[in-house]
Structure 1
């Protein structure tokens, strides 16, 4: 786990593309933009089972936590 501070969009995409996996455990976010960004970069995503995350996943996966 790393805190990288502010990154340009290009650097952010590079980090998402190399992460294994991207973890988004929040149960209280209204919209998971980082989840979209990670998926767009091709990163595997582990996310909390929330309505927003289920909608983002589009039924492609079964939530596990």
Structure 2
């Protein structure tokens, strides 16, 4: 979110992850409403988030 990559390729390069693996992870996150994609140049898409943090609450029985 802080670096606002212009494409999935740019995020893959910055994160050191393979583009295919990163794409699969982000698509899963998109299904849960954690990530959205904006259209970029050509066929590229840019991942975006609308929040600055995530809070997880769990109860242990």
Give TM class, smaller chain: under 0.3
The higher radius of gyration belongs to 2
Greater relative contact order (Cα 8 A, min sep 6): structure 1 or 2? Answer: 2
Q: TM-score, normalised by structure 2?
A: 0.28
